[in-house]
Chains A and B, each alone.
Chain A
Amino acid sequence: MIEIVTGDSRPIFRQIVDGLRRQIAGGELPPGSRLPSVRGLAQQLRISLNTVAKAYAVLTNEGLIESRDRVGVFVCEPRQILSLEERQRRLEEAVSQFVNSTYSLGFDDDELIRQVEAGLEQYAAGHPNSGDPE
């Protein structure tokens, strides 16, 4: 179930992309799960069809979901379609965001690293295959 809010600094389509990406990554939406149709999600969230279509297009381009003609929209089997450069760029972006938002919290580096490790472990526990490439 995706929730959106208006008045946020993230556009609605971005909130949908982030929300679904998180649910797919977190295993709440395993491969093969069926997503609401564009119209269905638009009705559910009370937003325009175009906004949902745009969000689904982003996730489709990332290889996370696929639309099967007349059947519906489904979560794909995980595969790596991003280039190494792109993956590195995204990693750097994520690290920089992480550092920006945790720097002023007053934890020492060891504590931050320990927490990240714990987070990764927790994630891996929900994803038996996430360590294997392909």
Chain B
Amino acid sequence: MTPSDLSVPNAVETAALSHWYGDQPALQDLTLGISQGGVHAIVGRNGSGKTTLLRILTGFVQPSRGRCQLLGEDCRKLPAAVRGRVALVSDEHALPPWLSAEQLVGLQRASYPTWDQTLFDQIVDLFSSSPTQRVDQLSRGERAGLCLALALATRPQILLLDEPTLGLDVVASRAILEVLLLASEPPDRTVILCTHQMDEVERLADQLIILNRGRLVAASEPEAFRDRFSSWVAEGIPASSVGSVEGLVRCRTIDDQLHLVTVDRDPNLVEELRGLGATRVTRSALSLDRAIEAVLSQPGA
């Protein structure tokens, strides 16, 4: 008996999880725990392993190595009971093109005793498509809404979302955001949201997970992550003299001023920069998206 049998298991638990496509690594030694409840945003550049992780979690892909559990069960052989409590909405919004929303509901509700038709109708209404329209007659936004409605109406305990607003116009994106806010309300539901939209992260996420090239870069509350960064403008010194500054993640010269971003640095960097010859130093806070960008754009990252 493992400790997780005694207490509430994490929604997701991985240890040294690795996956390769051929000789191309997609996930490298990922050790991650995602507790139950709340919205957990996974952010990273294209090819950082986000989609692979979702596929492994749902059992569509067998990982090359390492441990991976969903609600305490091995993802390689998820019991039907756990599988029924998980919903995945992929970015492709792939649905059989010849079926209508009504027909899809007919198929879906048969396999889910928890099916919530009122919720389904409420969500589909936001996208104003008719239930008799075939999938191939729907716009991209309507199809995204339908996918989300089909997933949420099963009232999943774990909702996995892969870039739900990818390629959507401003109206459809806003409707999706409203559905996601609705989806995140039940306190016992865990939402795992892979996204490139920093606006979604700020509005929705309780926890921020950053992946880069298949590795875990950070996992914390978004504010705690942002608070680790500072932005500095220094005058009177060239970029070549700050190379050894500890915690430096970004350095640009704009109009003879040096614009720096640092991580985990205390305010005494002001004295350090003055010591290196800076005549004037100002410090400011960084927005969340700039902090994330700074981490992901590091050459060595």
Interfacial residues, chain A to chain B (CB-CB below 8 A):
6-13, 42-43, 46-51
Contacts and interface: CB of A to CB of B under 8 A. Distances in A.
A12 B288 CA distance: 11
Interface string B158-201: 00000000000000001001100100110000000000001100
A48 B183 CA distance: 10
7 contacts: A6-B289, A7-B199, A7-B202, A9-B286, A10-B285, A13-B223, A48-B184
B257 to A, nearest CB: 14
A109 B204 CA distance: 45
Contact of A47 (B203, B284, B286, B289): B203
Interface string B196-227: 00110011111000000000000000110010
A8 B39 contact: no
B289 A48 contact: no
Given A9-B284, A9-B286, A49 B185 contact: yes
CB-based closest 3 A-B pairs? A9-B285, A6-B202, A6-B199
Interface residues of B, number: 24
Given A6-B289, A47-B203, 14 more contacts: A6-B199, A7-B202, A7-B289, A8-B287, A9-B286, A11-B202, A11-B222, A11-B288, A12-B203, A46-B181, A47-B204, A48-B39, A49-B184, A50-B206
Contacts of A43: 181
A16 B222 CA distance: 17
B49 interface: no
Interface in B108-152: none
Contacts of B44: none
Interface in B219-254: 222-223, 226
A12 B226 CA distance: 12
Contacts of A48: 39, 181, 184, 203-206
Contacts of B286: 9
B178 A11 contact: no
B168 to A, nearest CB: 15
A78 to B, nearest CB: 29
A7 B38 CA distance: 22
Contact of A50 (B38, B178, B289): B38
Contacts of B39: 48
Interface in B48-91: none
Contacts of B38: 50
Contact of B226 (A11, A46, A47, A50): A11
